Chain A
Amino acid sequence: MAHLQSRLSRALTAAVLALAPATAFAGKATDTLTYASDTEPENVSPYHNNVREGVIIARHVFDNLIYHDLATGKYEPQLATDWTWVDPQTLDLTIRKGVTFHNGDPLTADDVVFTLNYAVDPASKVVTKQNVNWVKSAEKIGDDKVRIHLVGPFPAAIEYLSGPVVIYPKAYFQKVGLDGFAKAPIGSGPYKVTAVVPGKGVKMEKNTNYWKGSPLGTPSIGKLEFRVIPDQETQLAELMTGGVDWIWRVQADQAKQLEAVPNLSVLAAETMRVGFLQLDARGQTPGAVPLKDVRVRQAIAYAIDRKAMLDNLVRGGARIMNSACFIDQFGCTDKGVPRYDYDPAKAKKLLADAGYADGFTIDLYAYREREYAEAVVGYLRAVGIKANLNFMKYAALRELSRAGKVPIYYQTWGSFSVADASAFTGAWFKGDEDDLARDDEVTKLLKTADTTVETETRLKTYAEALKLIAERTYLVPLFSYSSNYAFTNDLSFTAQPDELPRFFKAKWK
């Protein structure tokens, strides 16, 4: 039914697009950028929601300690003017002076210490635990000096400090509590929240006192308004009538049609999400026995024409991935990693060598982009592997996989937008239920890489682990995903692979 609905509504959308007349947009005239997305964060407090819409608000309303320049890959000072590793488990930071919160309170080392300790306190009921569970505690060691004690060596801490870890105002938070904060959050970022309307969205206004010299720059657009619109077709209709100025995650086929609308821009940009096949290399399920042979796994990798899939299905800025991570993540590399370019003849030969000249039958499970999974099934059939596609809801599939019942798993991973390889490999090769390979050698190497502070050793160890994973073909990386943004022509907007729109950098043309 849902499938039929989406088909029908797409047909309707096509009709809208064909008929849409040109109009002037209201956004620029009122200096208000209205952006729409389908999900409402359960709580706008950044540590108390797990959704992308919440992350967007967090980055506009709060400041980070460190800034990750995605263009150069370098970490730059933000609230922390400098930082040093005292030892692999201790990080010292100097906090910038002269920054104030939206309510006028100065931001000090006390706020930083409070935020970190609050985020790891079980009583705070933080839902983004994966972002802070590396912190043991924080303490003030000088007027503007903060020391973070880590649970264990964790070099990716810098990446987390420049991403999900944002700084709260201690005095205000303690005064209003979490419930008060959820209704009226206060940060030090380029935008301040003026209203949180449950079910509808969040309104923000430019912070005219935003501190000079911030790597985020000076915000240009006066007001931001986030509107929750659950239905994609409704979002499109709003965009075309000027009700909203910016939408994202537009389906590839709709994006193509939108390009024809004169006053709209469509931007296709790569994301950190990587699609891949996870193979049950230990043959836990009876049907997965052939996968125990590395030649069969390699045959699967050779059988898939990733370039054709990329050109015809994914489109827009996405790239082929050869390693078990997103290529721009720190530590991720495909140098020295074996490649499996499309070669069905070689695939057939490998299968014959492994004793499956006539192929075999196996189950393939997928939960999103059915057409991608269908393409994979088609390629596998072409070399004799009769894969049956089982399309399921994510939660049910995840459960099935953790119970060891999924031979081939079409998975995707967005690494929480963390630009460090540990956010990818750590999820799939940790030796837990999600690790179908359970290769001790790989797990050990990754553990070393995850906990080594010394950069060169870290890079080398990741490269070694990634090489092993590819050689033994536990996971067949396919390609990165792309995402389509559509917005009014009046807006100058650029996208980043971490799928985090930065409206503080956007301008009216």
Chain B
Amino acid sequence: MLAFTLRRLVVAFSVALTVSVIAFVLLHLSGDLATSIAGAEASPAQVAEVRHQYGLDRPLTVQYLDWLWRALHLDFGNSFYFRDSVVSLIATRMPVTLTLGAISLAISLIIAVPLGVLAAVFRGTIIDRLALTFCVLGQAIPTFCLGLGLIIIFAVNLRWLPVSGTAGWQNYVLPSVALGWYAVPAVMRLSRNGMLEVLSADYIRTARAKGLSPAAVVLKHALRNAIIPVVALAAVQFGFMLGGSIVVEAVFSMHGVGHLAWEAIARNDFPVVQAVVLILAAIYITLTFLADVINALLDPRMRVA
């Protein structure tokens, strides 16, 4: 088990490193950082000054290693745009993103698990088909599109909920639905498959033979076992949601880490982009790692992987 954990840790660390290299390269490929930081109307002399001031005149490998070295000491530097340190920028905006992620996850579980169970119980019927259709739709609608659609229906026309901002709990409803929607299909399919597997197990036949009501069989006996892989998946989905919040926060003008990342990308604010990418990747990797370990604990067969 220890060897397995160590192996997984090494993999997780290399993934984080790769992600940071890719983010770094992509950002530098998108155009000259100094020109964009200096602003649209800066003179060549100002650009040169910025290039030197931010150390952008050094070779790329030196810039990257310098960043990495400081990042390893948890020093992510200062934003090129705001005067604040990257750490404080992210820290003040993290609560919004975490709240949004948690509510979204809850919403997606509330929708997806019952839907999956229904689809499994009524396998092959119209209910199953409808659930799958719903699933495909969920996967097919881009988040920004769904977000705007929700705004049109619930904020502009019905006036039930506010359009944007983070003033109260009402502001979280639409963005959470938009973000949670994306996770519904995966969770639903996994619940359905898990249920199907469990429903054909011997102990379910026994439970039925005992004369328990169908509802009790499904909810008390089957669901508890079928839900275990869903919990692991939910952890991973939470990581996805933090990434997906970039689009949702921009659409709903919520000032979390996603919005910060959006702005930072637009401004080529490279220290912020690097830090956000690394932190989101780290959260994602940690969650995946934990899911792997939990699975391995539950099921020794997984430890070989």
Q: Is B52 on the interface with A (CB-CB < 8 A)?
A: no
Judging by beta carbons under 8 Å apart, are B35 and A399 in contact? yes
Judging by beta carbons under 8 Å apart, are B92 and A198 in contact? yes
Q: How far is the CB of A365 from chain B (nearest CB, A)?
A: 13
Judging by beta carbons under 8 Å apart, are A241 and B155 in contact? yes
Judging by beta carbons under 8 Å apart, are B35 and A50 in contact? no
Chain B minimum-CB-distance residue to A399: B32
Q: Is B125 on the interface with A (CB-CB < 8 A)?
A: no
With beta carbons under 8 angstroms apart, the residue of B33, B36, B44, B253 that contacts A402 is B44
Judging by beta carbons under 8 Å apart, are A234 and B83 in contact? no
Chain A minimum-CB-distance residue to B253: A229
371-420 of chain A: CB within 8 A of chain B? 393-396, 398-399, 402, 413-414, 416
Q: Is B39 on the interface with A (CB-CB < 8 A)?
A: yes
With beta carbons under 8 angstroms apart, the residue of A43, A130, A230 that contacts B46 is A130
Q: How far is the CB of A39 from chain B (nearest CB, A)?
A: 8
Q: How far is the CB of B195 from chain A (nearest CB, A)?
A: 36
Q: Is B145 on the interface with A (CB-CB < 8 A)?
A: yes
- Which A residues are in CB contact (< 8 Å) with B260? 199
- State in angstroms the CA–CA spacing of A200 and B32 once bound together: 29
- State the interface size on chain B (CB cutoff 8 A): 46
Q: Is A40 on the interface with B (CB-CB < 8 A)?
A: yes
Number of A-B contacts (CB under 8 A): 128
Q: Is A19 on the interface with B (CB-CB < 8 A)?
A: yes
Judging by beta carbons under 8 Å apart, are B156 and A130 in contact? no
44-66 of chain B: CB within 8 A of chain A? 44-46
Q: Is A362 on the interface with B (CB-CB < 8 A)?
A: no
- Give the contact-size bracket for chain A: 35 or more
With beta carbons under 8 angstroms apart, the residue of B142, B164, B268 that contacts A243 is B164
- Which A residues are in CB contact (< 8 Å) with B268? 395
Judging by beta carbons under 8 Å apart, are A237 and B255 in contact? no
- State in angstroms the CA–CA spacing of A178 and B82 once bound together: 13
Chain A minimum-CB-distance residue to B53: A125
Q: Is B200 on the interface with A (CB-CB < 8 A)?
A: no
Q: Is A238 on the interface with B (CB-CB < 8 A)?
A: yes
- State in angstroms the CA–CA spacing of A227 and B250 once bound together: 13
- Which B residues are in CB contact (< 8 Å) with A433? 44
Judging by beta carbons under 8 Å apart, are A394 and B40 in contact? yes
Judging by beta carbons under 8 Å apart, are A237 and B44 in contact? no
Q: Is A30 on the interface with B (CB-CB < 8 A)?
A: no
- Which B residues are in CB contact (< 8 Å) with A393? 30-31, 36
Judging by beta carbons under 8 Å apart, are A237 and B152 in contact? yes
Q: Is A179 on the interface with B (CB-CB < 8 A)?
A: yes
Q: A21-B157, A396-B32, A432-B44 are in contact. List 6 more A-B contacts (CB 8 A).
A: A5-B142, A42-B82, A237-B151, A237-B164, A241-B162, A395-B32
List, sorted by A's number, 7 A–B pairs whose CB atoms are closer than 8 Å: A5-B144, A12-B152, A43-B83, A198-B255, A234-B251, A237-B156, A393-B36
